[in-house]
Amino acid sequence: MTRIFVALAAIVVPVPIVTLASAEPITTGSLIGEMIDMHQLAEFPSPYYKTVQFSSYDHRSSLPGGPDWFANSDGFGGEPVPNFEKVLKPPQGDEPGEYLICDVAGPGAIVRLWTARIAGNIRMWLDDASEPVYDGSADEFLRAVYRRYAAQAGLDESVFDGTFRQRDACYFPIAFAKRCRIVWIGNHKDIHFYQVQIRRYEPNAQVVTFKPSDLKTYAERIRSVAEVLSSPQAHWKYRSTQLVLPIDASVQPGETKEVLAIDGSKAIERLTLRVSAADLDRALRQTILHIMFDDYPWGQVQSPVGDFFGAAPGINPYDSAAFTVEPDGTMTCRYVMPFAKNCRILLQNLGGQPITATGSVLPINYSWDDARSMHFRARWRVDHDLIASGERVQDMPYLLADGAGRYVGTALMLLNPSDVPSSGGCWWGEGDEKIFVDEDVQPSTFGTGSEDYFNYSWSSADIFVFPYCGQPRNDGPANRGFVTNTRWHILDNLPFRNRLRFYMELFSHEPTPGVSYARIGYHYGRPGLMDDHLAITQADVRHLQLPPTWEPAARGGARNSVFHQAEDVLTPESKERVKTTLAVSGLWAGGRMLVWQPAEPGEAIAFRLPVTADGRYAIHLTTARLPQSGRISVRLDGKRIGFGGDNGIDLHEPYRVLSRDVISDVVDLKQGDHELVLRYEGAPAGVAAPQIGLDFFWVQRRGNGR
């Protein structure tokens, strides 16, 4: 198939952008309301604002594409150039220094804060106040700025957990009418990661400055928004009272079928799909969703179905503000999609198997506004067979768009075939996001690491889901395998008047060939917006698999390690006494994994771990987390050594198959064989035939011993 450059029109026709001041002032309450308002994203903002970010990025990165463009000293302390706007007062002796994070003049609002870790204190002044509205811990400010005000407002702090505070980010808005000045007080040699995202409104915008008493004034709104964000699928408040329009279609290999058509000026408030096929993982990547608004020749939405819903590859359940994926494969999108005349939804089967799709659209009446209305857009792109590297870093384009619109979300789906079983060595996401808006010559959003952009830190491998962000898939061990990260820009959306350039660095710890890197930049566009999208081909959606076999490498965080396949060190007594099988998959070292099938709680299995020299060691168990697994306890030479504490190690994972490393306390070991005994402690109700997956063990030297 020939690759085709897709454009919405051969000539971009300028469309007037109306950005009058809103009739209602912008307040703490109105901003909190925006946190669950998907409708407002679909119209060009009035008053207009530009969302900018102040962060601890390496400030040597001043020339795009230049010598220090990929410099990576971004908050660990002692950087060559201080990671701040300005040094206000250098440290002297034991006295900390003072550093300017931002000084924003004019009306605006803080819409997101983030830190991985930060020492010192922060002071924040709003408008012309002589006293700071915040003066205290920098870490508390960036993670939970609301904390010190919640108690006096009669609000239980738990209402903010997982709703306004999401992983390492805080989305509690702080509005200001005239000015926002934030200063960090600390030692520049200490760790100081930070991101502060701010809307800068037009000068005529009417903004009411935040007061601590706002938490009491808007307490009920805070509680109601938090309820929705705590469980979007259960509590989302849809406005439409219309009947849903059903989708029910079978699509043969090579066929493109229209599955729904809607006429008139309306909007899609909710889209739900479920795909069925013999090989569902293949079908979700090889079935392409096209949504075409207002007679456009190419879909404003063009994406594999699974990737569009942030579930790729396969079904990985999660519940967020923008998308929900249920365990049975039902997938829901809540981005509002308006159109002036008509909408057509098509499914294109680029795979080799027939598929069926069922679902529905919840329509809502909508009056298209020629001055402000926008089309929803999500155009998937992929690059296969990349070499990720820390030496040859690449800026990966997510969206290059000319025209007016609003950026509202990101999904990243990648395959990382690294053979290092530790995040220190197999981490793929050292790179920063760089977002150029309108006439930027330097990014107005410059990040500090890919995981920081997705609201977590320290290359964490765990599965997590929040209203605006998540990691619904991460195979492991560490960051190896298939990985999906998402972030929805709702309160912190990025409007643009004439262009947007969104890049993310592909920056790994060590050279890793064979990386596949798929992504979507979700956005709204005014008529006339053009992008650099290419039509999706069969080569793009080829079925991806991990290498059929691999061997863990003793590099990076796994240095000084000796690895043992579990089946190779199983004691003869256990071979005779317990029931085991081998599972085959590229997820497991050597392409296989020992699966123990304990008959009842209390059953044990034993292994012999050789140690070549006296010293201090950590013992690693690389295990499987499975829907049919349970809990184990561990002893080395008859003693507990800190695996999972008194409760043991829980290997049950209800929806996924994961490889995870569990590490013991550091212990002194003598040269020779040591006995590692695992005891089965039980499984959740409903697990009738428990399985304990044991891939490999590693003995990692940490010192010479006593």
| Three-class DSSP labels, 284-312 | HHHEEEEEEECCCCCCCEEEEHHHHCCCC
Whether residue 7 lies inside any domain: the answer is no
- CATH number for 479: 2.60.120.1390
pLDDT mean over 303-310: 98
Is the pLDDT reported for residue 17 higher than 60? no
In a domain, 448, yes or no: yes
> Secondary structure of 537-553 in the HEC alphabet?
CCCCCCCCCCCCCCCCC
Q: Indicate whether 16 pLDDT > 60.
A: no
The share of the chain scoring above pLDDT 70, in percent, equals 96
Instruction: Provide the domain limits for residue 421.
Output: 380-533
User: Could you say which of 185, 210, 230 is where a domain stops?
Assistant: 230
Each residue's pLDDT tens digit, 506-564: 999 999 999 999 999 999 999 999 999 999 999 999 999 999 999 999 999 999 999 99
pLDDT at position 21 over 50 = no
Domain-embedded: residue 504: yes
Q: How many helices (H) and strands (E) does the chain have?
A: 11, 46
- Res 3 pLDDT > 90: no
6 has a pLDDT exceeding 50:
no
* The one-letter amino acid at 33: G
Cα separation, 657 vs 668, whole angstroms: 33
Q: What is the mean pLDDT of residues 476-495?
A: 98
Domain count, the chain: 4
What does residue 524 show for φ and ψ, rounded to 5 degrees? Answer: -110, 150
Same domain, 144 and 246: no
The values of phi and psi at residue 591, to 5°, are 80, 10
Q: Does pLDDT of 22 surpass 90?
A: no
Q: What is the pLDDT of residue 2?
A: 31
Asked if residue 253 and residue 162 are part of one domain, the reply reads no
Query: Do 345 and 394 sit in the same domain of this protein?
Result: no
- 427 and 504 share one domain: yes
The whole-number pLDDT of residue 477 equals: 98
Give CA–CA dist 53/492, Å, rounded. Answer: 10
Does residue 221 sit in the same domain as residue 251?
Answer: no
pLDDT value at residue 152: 85
User: What is the predicted pLDDT for the residue at 647?
Assistant: 75
Say if 549 falls within a structural domain.
Answer: no
671 is a domain residue: yes
Among 203, 230, 257, the domain-final residue is 230
Tens digits of per-residue pLDDT, 70-124? 999 999 999 999 999 999 999 988 899 999 999 999 999 999 999 999 999 999 9
Task: Kindly state the average pLDDT of the residues 256-285.
Answer: 98
Q: Could you tell me if 262 and 225 lie in one domain?
A: no
Q: Are 654 and 627 in contact (CB under 8 A)?
A: yes
Claim to verify: residue 457 and residue 521 sit in the same structural domain:
yes
Q: Based on the fold, state whether residues 500 and 605 are members of the same structural domain.
A: no
pLDDT of amino acid 644 = 66
pLDDT of residue 705: 65
Give the CATH number, domain containing residue 676.
Answer: 2.60.120.260
Q: What is the pLDDT of residue 645?
A: 67
665 and 686 belong to one structural domain: yes
Residues 6+ away with beta carbon under 8 Å from 478? 420, 421, 422, 423, 425, 426, 427, 459, 461, 557, 661
281 three-state secondary structure: helix
Of 391, 623, 407, the closest CA to residue 497 belongs to: 407
* Statement to judge: residues 222 and 243 lie in one domain: no
Residue 475 within a domain: yes
Q: What's the confidence (pLDDT) of residue 56? A: 98
Q: Is 618's pLDDT higher than 50?
A: yes
Report pLDDT for 703: 81
491, 514, 533 — which closes off a domain? 533
The Cα–Cα gap between 335 and 322 comes to 6
Are 225 and 249 within one domain? Answer: no
- pLDDT(12) > 60: no
Query: Whats the size of the chain, residue-wise?
Result: 706
Note the pLDDT of residue 325. 98
Q: Which helix (H) or strand (E) covers residue 698, if one does?
A: strand 692-703
The answer on 183 and 92 residing in a single domain is yes
Burial class (CB in 10 A: 0-12, 13-18, 19+), 216: middle
Q: At 311, is the pLDDT very low, low, confident or very high (cuts 50, 70, 90)?
A: confident
- pLDDT-derived band at 641, boundaries 50, 70, 90: confident
What residues contact residue 207 under an 8 Å CB cut-off, 6+ apart?
25, 26, 27, 107, 108, 109, 175, 176, 177, 201
The answer as to whether 471 is a domain residue is yes
pLDDT (average), residues 27-34 = 98
Above 60 in pLDDT, residue 411? yes
d(CA 317, CA 473) in angstroms, rounded, equals 9
| Average pLDDT for the chain | 95
In whole angstroms, how far apart are CA 456 and each of 113, 659, 694? Answer: 12, 20, 28
Q: Is 574 among the domain residues?
A: yes
